[in-house]
């Protein structure tokens, strides 16, 4: 288990006791459905926000979340939940008005429609479980009515073309891919203005460029990369054995050019001084842990962002590197089903978003249609 997952699992165990018993039952249900630890933590954050609102509004007799009874959820009125949604929509507006009159005062992050919809979706999931899927000792559901089933929230849907356009402005294409990889290895030295920074870069550049090149040459998720062990690498076949999203075992491929950087890193992996029992492929060290240990997800996210900003692509992220691979793959190999298998997507619709990123055929078709209309208009004018 990665450092990030261990930390999240520990946080989940620490937080659950603060919630009512039925929330723990819900968590067990979601675990049986293989929900990830990060997903479960997200549910808890959304539940906590709602429960604390109930307490502050006097809609429960409880003074703490743990004391909120099922009967109180059963008696919730639709108008109360709608008031909660209005609170989510308006609270940040109130905070922004404070900022205008007092710029030194900080405000909470604004809730987008998507965030509000997610918070409602979490509550809908909880209430559906309590009213339809749960079962007490008598075989009855915990709730006899589900007020959340009466609540609707319209969120503007992002079309595939709009999403593709958003991706297009934040990815690497064609020769940018190799130039970025070269920059990670050599170009970034220009920004190391102290010997300490230079030494840090020299120590980690084989590792960093290997991770970046693997993602750009195989489209892997960052979690898949940091969880790799040495025995997961099949160099002769350019494959990586991994457990993908949804706990699916897989062995996707990486390219020959990505293999070169991986092999270069594996030759110097020993300089992190890992213990003999350390199997993690990608290592890091720190003042408190001077012996090589598994790199965590946030470290990779941070250094990719660092390199991207220096390279002149400030919006680049680990996931955008995955987008870059997918877009380039479809450009050179127009088979979305092959890409779906490589990326580990369960649905082809998810993969097809990349078909629009560098596809100019739609705009060309519109231009052809417009030119044809103008030509026809000119013919009509000549005839008259």
Residues tagged active-site: 221, 245, 319, 322, 345, 354
SS3 239: strand
* Sign of the Cα pseudo-torsion (143, 147, 152, 155, in order): negative
Instruction: Give the whole-angstrom CA distance, residue 175 versus residue 360.
Output: 19
- Burial label, 87 (beta-carbon count in 10 A; 0-12, 13-18, 19+): middle
Q: Are 214 and 262 in contact (CB under 8 A)?
A: yes
At 142, list the tokens: 């915990």
* Sign of the Cα pseudo-torsion (233, 234, 238, 241, in order): negative
Instruction: Give the whole-angstrom CA distance, residue 337 versus residue 351.
Output: 8
Q: Are 44 and 15 in contact (CB under 8 A)?
A: yes
Instruction: Give the whole-angstrom CA distance, residue 280 versus residue 295.
Output: 8
Q: Which contiguous run of DSSP H or E holds residue 66?
A: none
């Amino acid at each position: 288990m990665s450092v990030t997952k261990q930390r999240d699992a520990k946080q989940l165990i620490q937080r659950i006791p603060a919630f009512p018993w039925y929330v723990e039952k819900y968590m067990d249900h979601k675990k049986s459905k293989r929900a990830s630890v990060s997903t479960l933590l997200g549910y808890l954050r959304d539940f906590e926000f709602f429960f604390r609102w109930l307490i502050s509004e006097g809609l429960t007799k409880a003074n703490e979340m743990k004391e909120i009874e099922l009967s109180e959820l059963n008696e919730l009125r639709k108008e109360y939940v709608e008031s909660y949604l209005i609170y989510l929509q308006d609270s940040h507006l109130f905070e922004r008005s404070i900022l205008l009159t007092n710029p030194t005062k900080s405000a909470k992050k604004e809730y987008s429609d998507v965030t509000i919809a997610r918070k409602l979706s979490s509550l809908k999931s909880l209430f559906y479980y309590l009213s339809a899927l749960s079962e007490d000792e008598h075989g009855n559901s915990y709730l006899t009515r589900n007020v959340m089933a009466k609540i609707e929230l319209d969120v503007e849907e992002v079309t595939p073309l709009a999403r593709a356009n958003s991706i297009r402005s934040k990815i690497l294409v064609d020769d940018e891919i190799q130039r970025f990889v070269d920059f990670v290895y050599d170009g970034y030295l220009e920004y190391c203005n102290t010997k300490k920074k230079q030494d840090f870069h020299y120590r980690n550049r084989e590792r960093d460029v290997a991770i970046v090149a693997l993602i750009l040459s195989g489209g892997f998720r960052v979690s898949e990369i940091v969880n790799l062990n040495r025995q997961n690498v099949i160099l002769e076949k350019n494959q990586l054995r991994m457990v993908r999203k949804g706990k699916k075992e897989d062995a996707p491929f990486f390219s020959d050019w990505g293999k070169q950087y991986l092999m270069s890193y594996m030759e110097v992996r020993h300089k992190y001084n890992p213990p003999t029992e350390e199997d993690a492929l990608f290592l890091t060290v720190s003042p408190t842990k001077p012996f090589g240990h598994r790199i965590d997800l946030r470290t990779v996210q941070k250094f990719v962002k660092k390199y991207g900003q220096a390279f002149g692509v400030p919006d680049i992220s680990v996931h955008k590197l995955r987008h870059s691979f997918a877009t380039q793959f479809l450009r050179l190999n127009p088979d979305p089903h092959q890409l779906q298998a490589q990326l580990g997507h369960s649905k082809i619709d998810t993969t097809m978003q990349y078909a629009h990123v560098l596809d100019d055929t739609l705009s060309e078709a519109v231009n052809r249609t417009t030119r044809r209309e103008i030509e026809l208009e000119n013919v009509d004018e000549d005839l008259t």
